[in-house]
Amino acid sequence: MLDETDKKIIEELSNNSRITMKELGERVHLTGPAAAARVAKLEDNGVIEGYSIKVNQAKLGCYTYAFLNIYIEGTNHQPCLSFIQTKEGYILNTYRISGEGCYLLECRFPGNKELNQFLLELNKYANYKLSIMIDKLH
């Protein structure tokens, strides 16, 4: 079970995973070595699974973000899932969902041309409902 200090450590690392252990310790009222020991314990227990960076995708040339609800008829989802795996460069996350649809894809494309081509290919395996991201709020 996590205590308040562990929760504060997770919050601080979520805001800046490159923070020094000394600074992290100061923010959560521990010494640097004590903070490092807490972080190591959180990692060992699988609470912290890894670290990541935020990337400005527009500066990398990826401008179109899309969310796709995928609808697959029948019980054989494997052909569609195999297709999705071949498109890792476009798909940020794939979620198995309940409710409307079978899967939710979070995607990014350099432009509408690439998105359209992806949709034409996807249509061989499943139906979909497309939502285009207008703005990211936070």
The CATH architecture of the domain made up of 57-132 is 2-Layer Sandwich (3.30)
Residues 22 and 33 sit within 8 Å (Cβ to Cβ): no
Helical spans, DSSP H, in the chain? 4-15, 21-28, 32-44, 78-85, 112-122
Token pair 């609800």: residue: 69
Taking the C-alpha atoms of residue 116 and residue 121, their distance in angstroms, rounded to an integer, is 9
Q: Tell me the per-residue pLDDT of 102-116, one tens digit each, with 9 for 90 and over.
A: 999 999 998 889 999
Q: Tell me the per-residue pLDDT of 28-70, one tens digit each, with 9 for 90 and over.
A: 999 999 999 999 999 999 999 999 887 776 777 668 899 999 9
Query: Is the model's pTM score more than 0.75?
Result: no
* Fold held by 4-44: Arc Repressor Mutant, subunit A (1.10.10)
* In the chain, domain spans: 4-44, 57-132
